[in-house]
């Protein structure tokens, strides 16, 4: 079992239009609605890979009810979302079919009270202590009212339960979370530069490890992943650039890392899976899902270079 945490869950709406033109009316050719937020995207991919997943975070209001109804239809996914009084946010992605570009509009999320946060912490600690819990993913932004050091608390609780924990967030929550020594952090290049002050990825990953992360896996977009671990350093690149909607590609990379960790695969195989899944998500028709045939094709062709640290 893998646990994913989405404190700022969302109901994702995706509109497709022939071409997106500012200040103009548009005829939408396709609408997709589904549970969203980074951790829920991760859970969906993990389930597609054959892993049982429990999801937690917050859900409230009519939007939260709709999200949970749709979540109940997802195979291998167990709903452990905590109720809040405020309404779950919505996100709107507009996909321009002419260019392949996506415009994203994200609501801020519900205001979480101190009592709701305390109740969530109790529930989370019970979840991470469950027998068979293989890994935890802490993903995404914080809704209003949740303390900025929230992820640091959640990292420490997972480590106290001796469950590997991956952190995927940004800004001050990332800085504080890294200091709690998560097993893996997965920032993109901009998030890594903000954390460390360095725009050179190799230097920035070293700096992030010095700040507390055991392993840093930096997402370099279309150029793949750069990983620095206690066991060595590696670079993983897709065999070709793919065109499409990159929304959710980073979440698929997280799912690849977690699934391979749960299966006990070595780091080069973990990174190859993460890169192949990420690229297969870009070409999928719906953001945050992956195209299975593209994934299978790319998995054996991802180039992984680097070496293990000498014992």
Q: What is the CA radius of gyration of the chain?
A: 19
Sequence-distant (≥ 6) Cβ neighbours of residue 39 within 8 angstroms: 4, 5, 6, 9, 55, 57, 137, 138, 139, 140, 251
Work out whether strand 215-219 and strand 225-229 pair parallel, antiparallel, or are unpaired. antiparallel
Among residues 190, 251, 269, 291, the one annotated as catalytic is: 251
3-class DSSP state of 122: helix
Measured from the Cβ of residue 206, the count of other Cβ atoms closer than 10 Å reads 15
Alpha carbons 247 and 240: distance in angstroms, whole number: 18
287 with 245: CB under 8 angstroms? yes
Instruction: Give the residue carrying structure tokens 């350093």.
Output: 233
Is 251 assigned a catalytic role? yes
* CA distances from residue 150 to 35, 135, 145 in whole angstroms, order as listed: 23, 18, 10
List the catalytic residues: 251
């Amino acid at each position: 079992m893998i646990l994913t945490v989405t404190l700022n869950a969302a109901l994702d709406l995706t509109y497709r239009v022939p071409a997106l033109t500012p200040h103009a009316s548009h005829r939408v050719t396709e609408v997709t609605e589904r549970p969203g937020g980074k951790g829920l995207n991760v859970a969906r991919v993990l389930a597609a890979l054959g892993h049982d997943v429990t999801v937690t975070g917050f859900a409230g209001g009519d939007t939260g009810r709709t999200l949970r109804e749709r979540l109940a239809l997802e195979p291998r996914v167990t709903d452990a979302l905590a109720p809040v009084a405020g309404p779950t946010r919505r996100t709107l992605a507009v996909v321009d079919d002419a260019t392949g570009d996506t415009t994203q509009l994200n609501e801020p999320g519900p205001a979480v009270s101190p009592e709701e946060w305390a109740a969530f912490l109790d529930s989370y600690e019970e979840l991470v202590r469950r027998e068979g819990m293989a890994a935890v993913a802490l993903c995404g932004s914080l809704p209003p009212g949740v303390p900025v050091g929230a992820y640091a608390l959640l990292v420490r609780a997972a480590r106290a339960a001796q469950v590997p924990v991956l952190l995927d967030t940004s800004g001050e929550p990332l800085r504080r979370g890294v200091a709690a020594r998560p097993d893996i952090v997965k920032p993109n290049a901009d998030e890594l530069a903000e954390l460390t002050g360095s725009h050179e990825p190799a230097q920035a990953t070293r700096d992030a490890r010095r700040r507390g992360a055991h392993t840093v896996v930096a997402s370099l977009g279309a150029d793949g992943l750069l990983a620095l671990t206690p066991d060595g350093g590696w670079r993983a690149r897709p065999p070709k650039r793919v065109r499409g909607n990159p929304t959710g590609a980073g979440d698929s990379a997280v799912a690849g890392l977690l699934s391979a960790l749960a299966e006990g695969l070595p780091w080069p195989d973990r990174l190859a899976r993460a890169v192949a899944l990420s690229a297969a998500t870009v070409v999928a028709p719906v953001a945050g899902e992956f195209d299975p045939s593209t994934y299978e094709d790319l998995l054996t062709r991802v180039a992984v270079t680097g070496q293990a640290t000498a014992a």
